[in-house]
Structure 1
Amino acid sequence: MRLLKKTIHKDIENIEGRIYERIAARGIVLKGSKILLLYTKRYNDYSFPGGGVDPHEDLITGLKRELSEETGATNVEVIQEYGIFDEYRPSYYDDSDLIHMTSYFYVCKIDEKLGNSNLEDYEIANGMSTIWIDIHEAIRHNKEVIANKEDSMGLSIERETFVLELVAKELVK
């Protein structure tokens, strides 16, 4: 799978110490210029559905589980591999200094009608909801949040916006 981008967060001086490895699978689901995303009220941003792959899962199994849990998607079918976003960022875990997050993005097809999502408690507390939105509107919104350096801004918004822009350029007609 191609490398989309490799980043090191600006607050990280070197890649040393105790590193927590996190593997994530994320879905790109398009319907014309509309894209299936998650809006998170706490961070005021749009992001791709998907997340951490459990130790016993392969990437595709984890992706299908995450899409189903977060959006209620059914009959998830992977159409193609899209790319990898590789990043080092500050850790919020007590037993690590850094997080090495490797996100695998896949273009997917799902059934038209979404079922019920099964969000985790922290996702509910953060105000996460599923939305079909014009991809250009999601990009504009996220870029505005970045430009305004909103206090609520999360660490993932730059990754998500970079991939959204790439998807808009390469996959949206």
Structure 2
Amino acid sequence: MNFTLTVDEPNLKSSEKIIKRVAVRAVITENNLILLVQSNKGDYKFPGGGLDVNESLEECLKREVSEETGYTHCIVKDKLGKVIERKTDEYEELALFEMTSHYYV
């Protein structure tokens, strides 16, 4: 399975600038349970985070899983897909923020 989902903020207006960020997320399951981490906003998400400069998606995923869960023996398997989210940037006027998150088993 490999999906691509695009989610745009309702009533999204055109922008002069697009700020892009790439992230990677791990879908970790065991015994029909899914591992999620609680964010600082109180919601739950798949472990993962933003890609650093000159870092591969696999390197990023291993680092983020280790940082967020303490699990250091992460084996990256199949890519499930990606989600592209677009919304008005919170910090820069007339800018659009686009986050592309890649999901892996």
Query: What band does the TM-score fall into relative to the shorter chain?
Result: 0.7 to 0.9
1:75/1:38 CA distance change after superposition, 3 Å:
same
Partners of 1:71 and 1:39 lie apart in 2 by: 11
Query: Matched residue pairs, number?
Result: 105
Q: Deviations over 1:92-141 (max 9, x none)?
A: 2337611111000000xxxxxxxxxxxxxxxxxxxxxxxxxxxxxxxxxx
Higher alpha-carbon deviation: 19-28 or 87-96: 87-96
Q: TM-score, length-normalised on structure 1?
A: 0.56
Partner of 1:64: 62
Partners of 1:36 and 1:99 lie apart in 2 by: 27
Partner of 1:168: none
Moved over 2 A (4+): 1-4, 92-96
Partners of 2:2 and 2:16 lie apart in 1 by: 28
- 1:27 positional shift: 0.4
Partners of 2:94 and 2:71 lie apart in 1 by: 34
Partners of 2:78 and 2:9 lie apart in 1 by: 29
Q: Give 2:28's aligned amino acid.
A: V
Structure 2 regions of 5+ residues with no counterpart? Answer: none
Partner of 2:13: 13
Q: Give 2:97's aligned amino acid.
A: I
The alignment partner of 1:63 has SS state of helix
The alignment partner of 1:67 has SS state of helix
Q: Alpha carbon RMSD of aligned pairs, Å?
A: 1.9
Is 2:70 the counterpart of 1:43? no
Larger helix percent: 1
Structure 1 regions of 5+ residues with no counterpart? Answer: 108-173
Determine what percentage of the aligned residue pairs are the same residue. 36
The alignment partner of 1:62 has SS state of helix
Q: TM-score, length-normalised on structure 2?
A: 0.88
Partners of 2:94 and 2:75 lie apart in 1 by: 35
- 1:84 positional shift: 0.6
Instruction: Judge conservation of contact 2:24–2:61 (CA < 8 Å) in 1.
Output: yes
The alignment partner of 2:76 has SS state of strand
Partners of 2:8 and 2:94 lie apart in 1 by: 16
The alignment partner of 1:61 has SS state of helix
The alignment partner of 1:78 has SS state of coil
Instruction: Judge conservation of contact 1:18–1:95 (CA < 8 Å) in 2.
Output: no
